[in-house]
Amino acid sequence: EMRGARRGRRERCRVCVHALLRVLLAAAICAPLAVSGAERAASEANARSADADAMQLGRRSEVQVFRVAVVMCAWGRLELTRLVVAHYVSLNRAGEERGSGTIEVVPFVAVSENGVEEALRPLVDAGSVAIVLHENRPLGRKHNALLAAVRDSRQSFDAVVVVGSDDLLNFEYFKLLRVAFVDQRAHIVGVRDLHVLELRDLNFVHTAGYRYAGNSIAATMGLGRAYSRALLSALNWKLWEDALESRLDRSAAMRVLDSAPLIARTSTVLFAGAAVGVVAIDVKTSLLSDAGGNNIWSFEQLIAATKLPDARLSVFRQLEDPRAVIEKAYGNTVWDELLELRRKMLQNAKSVERGECGEHSEL
């Protein structure tokens, strides 16, 4: 009887164990299906939320104005400065014509003489340009005064683009800036390559950019380098050493790296250039120095510097048809105005040779 009782208990245990195993096996099979269903539900909910956010962002992008301050220092060459400033003002009209009217471009010009301010008077009176009166030297302090003016402006700007009074950037660059700063949350955007136009002989050359650079910021040209409002706020709206008279591009890069290292290291520097339709042009007038051309770097110096063994900048390549490149990137107006400026400068240069005129810095 005892042996029978033990056999009965073992049999009941075996049945219980088998039943338990069947339950566990069923749970093991069904659990992944339940989890998978939950994950699918969560994924679908997240997708719907992401779609809703994207649609909302799209609606905001349609109505929100992306404002860019283009800052430059001017000295002499009034006609060239007026041409450059008027070009940036015209980008607002170009944006409306191309369906990108939510981009607003406002030039801030630091001047040290009445001539430049008067040359820009119609644009200033129309509210299209902001004038900053400041002594010409040192250049670092003059540039920082521009940033202070942008900071204190009644308008809030999303980005600041740094150019010279002889530098041109086409509208494609500002479209790229909107994508970079709004959609991609970048803090620095720069031009990789560069075109240079020498007015007298209409020499037009192109360089692919720097061969090497110590950091990604310095790998971009100073012409057109753009900074986000958030980055400039982190730098207390000061990019350059006040006492500087040269190497301002390098100074700005080092300022970012030293004072905002986290932003500099975590924010990708985005590059623009001819490959994406951005045509940056430095207009040189140095061969007409007697007629008002005064460049920090002359055309000849720039070309010669790229041929040195340790040159950072890639060698320039001659382009045979400047008109085709410029009209494609800028339209007819800029090319026609450059030709008219060239005509005036050649005429005045001849007058200087004949001793008919004494001063032609207005060009």
pLDDT band at 52 (very low <50, low <70, confident <90, very high): very low
Q: What percent of the chain has pLDDT over 70?
A: 72
pLDDT at 36: 40
Per-residue three-class SS string for the chain: CHHHHHHHHHHHHHHHHHHHHHHHHHHHHHHHHHHHHHHHHHHHHHHHHHHHHHHHHHHHHHHCCEEEEEEEECCCCHHHHHHHHHHHHHHHHHHHHCCCCCEEEEEEEEECCHHHHHHCHHHHHCCCCEEEECCCCCHHHHHHHHHHHHHHCCCCCCEEEECCCCEEECHHHHHHHHHHHHHCCCCEEEECCEEEEECCCCEEEEECCECCCCCCCCCCCCCCCEEEHHHHHHCCCCCCCCCCCCCHHHHHHHHHHHHCHHHHHHCCCEEECHHHCCCEEEEECHHHHHHCCCCCCCHHHHHHHCCCCCCCECCCEECCCHHHHHHHHHCHHHHHHHHHHHHHHHHHHHHHHCCCCCCCCCC
Q: What percent of the chain has pLDDT over 90?
A: 45
pLDDT at 149: 97
pLDDT digits (tens, 9 = 90+) for 236-250: 999 999 988 888 988
pLDDT at 17 over 80: no
- Computed over every residue of the chain, the mean pLDDT equals 79
Reference 208, options 197, 198, 195, 224; nearest CA is 195
At the top level of CATH, the class of 66-353 is alpha beta
pLDDT at 359: 47
57-66, 130-139, 251-260, 263-272: range with lowest mean pLDDT: 57-66
pLDDT digits (tens, 9 = 90+) for 20-32: 434 333 333 333 3
* Residue that wins the pLDDT comparison between 111 and 32: 111
pLDDT band at 233 (very low <50, low <70, confident <90, very high): very high
Reference 249, options 293, 208, 215, 284; nearest CA is 215
Question: Could you state, in order of their start, the residue ranges of all structural domains in the chain?
Answer: 66-353
pLDDT at 73 over 90: yes
Work out the average pLDDT over 351-361.
56
Note the pTM of the prediction, 2 decimals.
Answer: 0.77
pLDDT at 46 over 90: no
pLDDT at 106: 96
pLDDT band at 10 (very low <50, low <70, confident <90, very high): low
pLDDT digits (tens, 9 = 90+) for 271-290: 888 889 999 999 988 644 44
pLDDT digits (tens, 9 = 90+) for 277-329: 999 999 988 644 444 445 667 788 788 888 888 888 899 999 999 999 999 99
pLDDT band at 252 (very low <50, low <70, confident <90, very high): very high
Cα separation of 195 and 180, whole Å? Answer: 23
